[in-house]
Structures are given as structure tokens and as C-alpha cells.
């Protein structure tokens, strides 16, 4: 295998920097820029908590429809590293699942029943997840109404975890299994609650991304990671600690930019206003990287 060393590789969170947090869709402009980057030989890897089905519908299909170049391969690490697949102009390859990182099926069944019984007015059970158990806000209800229900749901989910003797942590609350172990996490986000193995995370996604490129003989000179929340920094943390050159882009720096041993960029670094955030900032950075590799 010939070794390729592209100047950049992109590792991208999807919700926020790529998909609008409001519509949950990806703009035609972002799709076009991603394709132009791929055409320049820049590896693109998505690293998301979303399912492979979501990425296939929201990112893969629009990229194929807009003319993904023949023979180009794009990778998607989904469910925070538990599943992954690659796609070309011909469609998706096999979806891989690390079964050791999946929630027990009987627990998922109990959460599905709980949602149907008590929370179907505000939430839906994400049937597309293969490893995580995710319950998401219905787009038809407002966020404040959802958040008011979410605390109750999370408490019920912790009750179900205990009934299955699955040790779990939710924020500062720790509820070990009878063995004393905590192998699962309840992770409330602004639009969902994810229940997952504690081994899942954006760092696991970064390690898969490096492996997927290495499998193609690709060792990039430098990485650019991009996200909209604190957990997304784990991509750059992981890469930096393994001596990969990396810069991280935070498209929603309102929480403050933490001190990191690698550069952290925001829209201000592109000469834009600080209120250019989310996928508007994502689009601007993708364009800047395209300019850098085509100039």
C-alpha cells in the first residue's frame, strides 16, 4: 500500500458544526464544500453520537446526490465510537458494531416501554441506535417543555438500570452495580438523553478515525477537529496526547474556551463576528480549509 500524507484530515462532530441544531439538516453549501475537500484528497471523518441511519440520511445521501467523486471514501464513526461505516459514491459499506459496547437488549426494551407508557407526548425512542439507548425530544414540542420532563425520565431510567443491576453514573450521581462497578452512563443533552457504555466517547471516535485512515495507508500531516460542546474537545485531546498535530475548532464557544495544549479556534480567528456560531461557523471553517489546500 502506498502511503499518503495529505496536509489535513478533518474529524467533524455533526450536530452543531455540520447539521443545524434547529432544523437538524445540513446546508447545500456545507455539502458542496465537503465534496470539494474530498476532491482535493482531504480525508473527511464524521464523529457523532448519532446513529449510522441518521448520518446516512442527513450527510451521506446529500453528498452522493451532489456528486461525491468516484473512488473517494468518507468515514463515519457513529454512536460515540460504538458503530462505524464508510461510504463512496456507490453508497454505504458494512456498518460495524462493537458488541461489547452495546447496552443489554432487555434494558433497551424496558426503556422503549417506559417511553411509550409515560413520555410519548414529549420524546421518542431512537430505534436506529445499535449500541446506545437514546430518547430524544420530539421536534413538535418546545424545548422548555421537554427539559421539564427530561429530569423525570432520567430518574426513571436510573431506576431501570438499577433493576437490571447495571451500575451507572449521571452527572455527579453514582449508582454502582452490586459488584461495585459502574459501566454505564446516563448523559442528558439539550435535546436527548443517551444511555451508553462509559467507554463510548469522542476520544474513542478519534481512535477509530486514525485506524480507518491507516487502513487506507493515509497518515495526515495535521488534523482539524470541530465541535460545538465540551465533550468534542476529547477528539483533539486524544490526538494531541498521541503526538498528532491538531487544531480544534469550537463553533459554540459561549461556555468559554478551556486551556488546552493545542490551538483552539473560533469564528473570531477567521475575522468573523463572535456571534457567527453553529453551522455558520462550521461552513466558514470548511471554506477556509478548502482555500488553504487549493491556494
Closest separation in Å from C-beta 223 to Mg ion: 18
Taking CB positions, which residue lies at the least distance from Mg ion?
16
Name which position in 16, 43, 201, 205 contacts Mg ion (CB under 5 A): 16
Closest separation in Å from C-beta 232 to Mg ion: 6
State the sign of the Cα–Cα–Cα–Cα dihedral 38, 247, 59, 101: positive
**Does residue 15 bind Mg ion (CB under 5 A)?**
yes
Q: How many CB atoms lie within 10 A of CB 111?
A: 22
Strand partners, 74: 87
Our CB check for Mg ion shows the closer of 162 and 191 to be 191
Our CB check for Mg ion shows the closer of 6 and 49 to be 49
**Rounded-to-5 percentages of helix, strand, coil across the chain:** 40, 20, 40
**Please, which residues have CB within 8 angstroms of residue 98's CB and are 6 or more apart in sequence?**
81, 82, 83, 131
Closest separation in Å from C-beta 33 to Mg ion: 18
Closest separation in Å from C-beta 5 to Mg ion: 29
From 10-18, 67-75, 104-112, 175-183, span contacting Mg ion (CB under 5 A)? 10-18
**Does residue 154 bind Mg ion (CB under 5 A)?**
no
**Vertex 73: Cα angle to 128 and 59 (nearest 5):** 40
Closest separation in Å from C-beta 15 to Mg ion: 4
Our CB check for Mg ion shows the closer of 13 and 154 to be 13
Name which position in 194, 228, 237, 280 contacts Mg ion (CB under 5 A): 228
Our CB check for Mg ion shows the closer of 102 and 235 to be 235
**Does residue 13 bind Mg ion (CB under 5 A)?**
yes
Our CB check for Mg ion shows the closer of 194 and 228 to be 228
**Vertex 75: Cα angle to 69 and 76 (nearest 5):** 130
Burial class of residue 180 (count of CB atoms within 10 Å of its CB; 0-12, 13-18, 19+): exposed
Our CB check for Mg ion shows the closer of 214 and 254 to be 254
Closest separation in Å from C-beta 227 to Mg ion: 6
Instruction: Give the DSSP letter of residue 222.
Output: -
What element of type H or E holds 168?
A: strand 168-170
**Vertex 155: Cα angle to 153 and 158 (nearest 5):** 110
**Does residue 79 bind Mg ion (CB under 5 A)?**
no
Binding residues (CB under 5 A) for Mg ion: these are 13, 15-16, 228
Amino acid at each position: 500500500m502506498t502511503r499518503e500524507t495529505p496536509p489535513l484530515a478533518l474529524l467533524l462532530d455533526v450536530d452543531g458544526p455540520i447539521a443545524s441544531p434547529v432544523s437538524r439538516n445540513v446546508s447545500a453549501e456545507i455539502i458542496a464544500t465537503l465534496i470539494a475537500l474530498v476532491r482535493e484528497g482531504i480525508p473527511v471523518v464524521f464523529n457523532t453520537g448519532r446513529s449510522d441511519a441518521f448520518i446516512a440520511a442527513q450527510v451521506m445521501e446529500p453528498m452522493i446526490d451532489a456528486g461525491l467523486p468516484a473512488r473517494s471514501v468518507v468515514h463515519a464513526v457513529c454512536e460515540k465510537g460504538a458503530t462505524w461505516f464508510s461510504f463512496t459514491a456507490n453508497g454505504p459499506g458494512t456498518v460495524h458494531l462493537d458488541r461489547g459496547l452495546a447496552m443489554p437488549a432487555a434494558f433497551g426494551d424496558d426503556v422503549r416501554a417506559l417511553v411509550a407508557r409515560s413520555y410519548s407526548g414529549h420524546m421518542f425512542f431512537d430505534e436506529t441506535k445499535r449500541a446506545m439507548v437514546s430518547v430524544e425530544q420530539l421536534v413538535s414540542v418546545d424545548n422548555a417543555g421537554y427539559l421539564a420532563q427530561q429530569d423525570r425520565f432520567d430518574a426513571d431510567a436510573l431506576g431501570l438500570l438499577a433493576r437490571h443491576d447495571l451500575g451507572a453514573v449521571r452527572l455527579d450521581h453514582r449508582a454502582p452495580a452490586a459488584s461495585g462497578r459502574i459501566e454505564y452512563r446516563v448523559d442528558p443533552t439539550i435535546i436527548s438523553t443517551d444511555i451508553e457504555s462509559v467507554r463510548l466517547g469522542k476520544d474513542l471516535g478519534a481512535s477509530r478515525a486514525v485506524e480507518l485512515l491507516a487502513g487506507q495507508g493515509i497518515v495526515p500531516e495535521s488534523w482539524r477537529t470541530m465541535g460545538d460542546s465540551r465533550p468534542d474537545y476529547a477528539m483533539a485531546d486524544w490526538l494531541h496526547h498521541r503526538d498528532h498535530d491538531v487544531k480544534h475548532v469550537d463553533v459554540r464557544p459561549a461556555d468559554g474556551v478551556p486551556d488546552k495544549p493545542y490551538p483552539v479556534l473560533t469564528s473570531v480567528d477567521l475575522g468573523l463576528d463572535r456571534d457567527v456560531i453553529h453551522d455558520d461557523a462550521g461552513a466558514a471553517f470548511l471554506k477556509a480549509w478548502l482555500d488553504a489546500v487549493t491556494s
